[in-house]
Chain A
Amino acid sequence: MDAILQQFFNWGVMAQALPLLLKGLGMTLLICAVVIPLGALGGLLAALASTAQARALRWSAIAFVDLFRALPPLVLLIFIYAGLPFAGLRLSPFAAVTIAFFLNNSAYFAEIFRAGLLSVPKGQAEAALSTGLTPAQTLIWVRLPQATRNVLPDLLSNVVEIVKLTSLASVVSLGEMLHAADLVRSVTYNASPLILAAGLYLLLLWPLVRLIGRFERRIAG
């Protein structure tokens, strides 16, 4: 029993690891701060393209979404980081992570926004257009607010997924939280830093997960 505590809940090791883990958490949050807005924007554009009149545009958007939803994000990341240099394109770990997660998340956001936009009755846009709003104004003031509200739990779930996804960045040695924790583990020969990292992820995501549950209940009820 003592050995287990010593190995997993060693407060001394945890205290030692904390500064590095917090620095890693900073990187985790930085990746999120870049990938979430970009992914949401890319997803929105892909969603709009996938419902466009022009067939070429529609099909390219659908192909984009299908490809990056089917491709495992880890495969994508390693390909961009370790594969592209064979084509002469060498990217920093941060750039590789950002691009890979951006592509992956745009595809997921696209599917969510697409469902949201389709959930808004056609009459809404018609009413807006009939009062002289441009199609862009109709999107911004009438369709998007309703679309977003209709899929809010899905959007937030995707945000949670992105935060979890950032831990993959450890494979390209980007110093986000998991990488930091694993580094300390390898130096101290002790698993406590990993427990600490898990606790910090939980602390970060649990409120969000709770919030999603509340939204889902409100929509269901």
Chain B
Amino acid sequence: MSTIVLLIVTGLGLGALYFLVAAGLSLIWGLMRVLNFAHGAFFTVAAYTGFFAAAALAGTSPWVGWFASLVAGTFVGAVFATLTEIALIRPLYRRPVGQVLVTVGLALATLALVEGAFGADPRQVTVPPWMAATTSMLGAAIPNTRFVVIVLAALVLFGLLFFLRRTRYGLIVRAGVENRDMVSALGIDVQRAFTLVFAIGGAAAGLAGVLAATYYGTIDPGRGTAMLISAFIVVVIGGLGSIAGSALAAVLVGLLQQFLNFYAAAGVGDFAVVLLLAVVLLVRPGGLLGGKSA
């Protein structure tokens, strides 16, 4: 029983991280038809920014450092993504191949730069002592970081749904996911929504970068790429462009991975996820909740 509880909470925590990366990917694809391979770079740069922000505040309360890393990482993720959209994506408007190449290039360049500057080895991050501790739940000792990640991702999910369903720009994004030409033909500058969606996606990926550091206790240059791959799978399973779909798929993928890697053998879970992807593509090519952004 306690093992199952631990696996569920751990799977949910992993799913929460996937969701934070997948949310932006999904909205960016849905609205702009851009496969953003640079999304993992937002994650990585934010993780290192968070690390150094916390290090700079080393003398203060660990909560201050942790909170500062969260804010700094999220902010840098948003800024990096916004600049990417303005400087690299926008000039290649309606040239999908060029956009893919430029985001792949940015991803590789960022990886090389981070590795060159800070080395390829993982670095230990410090978290507040409470987070390093565990809470007992139905007999299982659950690391508190899991709860932190899950709660924050849930807040982001509700925030995004509120944005999409209740705000003017959310309305524009939902309409744009369906037919962005028609949004322009109503006199709306859809380009502004593109930039906004990149900023939001980058912020979520940045938050994921810092939270993944909290979750694993380390940062390294390569995790962003691994996250990106899982997030792409999540986005396709959930339905491209759908936030609720991404959340659902992220939870499914996280749980499936945890349970099969534990009960079958390490690696089986990851294989099963790819299998799930194949099945969804065959049975519901649009994804679980495809065609609805919110």
Pair from one complex: no
Chain A: residues with CB nearer than 8 A to chain B? none
Binding site for A on B (CB under 8 A): none
